[in-house]
Structure 1
């Protein structure tokens, strides 16, 4: 066990990421429930619309000064990537077995590790690269290309994971200068019009309980996004994104009891392999963080040997 100082930024980030993962899991469940009546793209629009409603208290608390930024172009680029990730992810949740769609999304930390090197300049060495390769072997177990059960929809879920990694890295970049509440507000505001056009292609006015599901999707999604953004501000993206695996047991139970979708052995095996790879990556980050606290010189040396 690697001791973590109580109330350390890393511990707080881990707790926020855990709660964020559970809330994103709740959002996935209500998205599937809403899909009985609505297309995935329309659900994405309502998630953003009602998400903005839930985010308005931030604006009321801070006033318009919270919207002050010199990064508007970066926000637009980040939101464009994010909306494609959202549309692909929602489509996967609606059209694939729920546990499989969520399990594939766990490849996001692997893409984050790659992107952290290319974009954030984080140093990754042979041991972490080996873990990334093992993790993608787990992805292949999940996808099972060539098998009768393989569908192109699984590739859409993988695309969503890759784009989600780009979003996580962009948030990490923004948190260097921007407040988490500013990031959440701008993202939600921009996503509403961005998601409207694809929604109009499949528009159908919601009725009955569907309204409850899409309002809940907005609430769960916005609160999860707030926690996710704060977690990424406190710790390296590749260190805490594996914590999202706490979501899988919840999703597995919900998928079985609500939608009659049992976990198959391939989903379990692939998930375990990906989890093991991501735990190793996160453990390396914890070791480096601890060394940097106890001995800054060791911490700098560790950055070279990741």
Structure 2
């Protein structure tokens, strides 16, 4: 755990390093497991690990916090999140991992739309610019005019929209429920979803798969935890650029271990998405400060 005496930016960097390594490990372990297991089996085992770990934490911190006044929102959140994870893994298997991560950066863009629809938040002009730059970035990454667009690219794009739904519902649930409560229902609801769908295409489990299954189950939780801790100790304008570093990291991993090639337009598109997100964050904070003055 980062030392309390460290500067907040340093502490955020340490937590984000944990998040980046967790996400990279998740991508590699998922790619390796896909040679042996179906996508639904991977999702099932991830949720099973999550249930065990979170239940152990709740056993010590108290089970009363899983009482929720809004079970329907949990259900909607996790159906969306389950579909998003399926699309993410599908992309990891069939297209360069860097492209998957780049398209995933569009989730905040879609969250703006869904927050306006579900939470009645206004789409201010900074958010509008974020949307425009984000859509431009998507165009550069996916290149819809090309005859070589892989279906997995479109699936990951739809998955990013589903992640946005999950983020929006998380924001709604965070008003009444603890983070552990949200993570608990994430695992508990997605466990039967994974079990039923995995049963339709169950494959024998090679003993060599178990270490990778444990990696997927554990780093799926540590990535969420480290990201949340980074957001607690530093401003989003610091954390978001750090999160962007997972793109070159996974590009290097994809190139070295899987001989993947990445187009320069992918980094340009991702940079546009990042710039739009940061611009929206900075301008919204200035607007709030001006209103409080």
What TM-score, normalized by structure 1, do the two folds share?
0.83
User: SS state of the match for residue 148, structure 1?
Assistant: coil
- Distance in 1 between residues matched to 2:221 and 2:198, nearest whole Å: 19
| Bigger mean CA offset, 213-222 vs 270-279 | 270-279
Is the CA contact (8 Å cut-off) linking 1:134 and 1:273 kept in structure 2? yes
The 5 A counterparts of 1:8-87 are: 19-87=18-86
Is the CA contact (8 Å cut-off) linking 1:171 and 1:232 kept in structure 2? no
The 5 A counterparts of 1:128-277 are: 128-228=127-227, 244-277=243-276
Report how far residue 106 of structure 1 moved: 0.7
Is the CA contact (8 Å cut-off) linking 1:35 and 1:94 kept in structure 2? yes
Matched positions, count: 288
- Distance in 2 between residues matched to 1:234 and 1:299, nearest whole Å: 24
User: SS state of the match for residue 149, structure 2?
Assistant: coil
Report how far residue 173 of structure 1 moved: 1.0
Structure 1 segments unaligned to the other structure (5+ residues): 1-5, 292-297, 302-306
What TM-score, normalized by structure 2, do the two folds share?
0.86
- Post-superposition Cα deviations, 1:39-93, rounded to whole Å, max 9, x if no partner, equal 2222111111122222232222123223222222221221111111111111111
- Distance in 2 between residues matched to 1:33 and 1:274, nearest whole Å: 29
Report how far residue 254 of structure 1 moved: 1.3
- Post-superposition Cα deviations, 1:186-228, rounded to whole Å, max 9, x if no partner, equal 2111111111122222211221432111110000002223345
Match of 2:3 in 1: none
Report how far residue 110 of structure 1 moved: 0.8
- Distance in 2 between residues matched to 1:173 and 1:12, nearest whole Å: 28
Match of 1:299 in 2: 291
In the superposition, relative to structure 1, how do residues 20 and 143 fare at CA in structure 2: closer, same or farther (>3 Å)?
Answer: same
Is the CA contact (8 Å cut-off) linking 2:75 and 2:189 kept in structure 1? yes
In the superposition, relative to structure 1, how do residues 162 and 230 fare at CA in structure 2: closer, same or farther (>3 Å)?
Answer: farther
- Distance in 1 between residues matched to 2:69 and 2:137, nearest whole Å: 41
Match of 1:102 in 2: 101
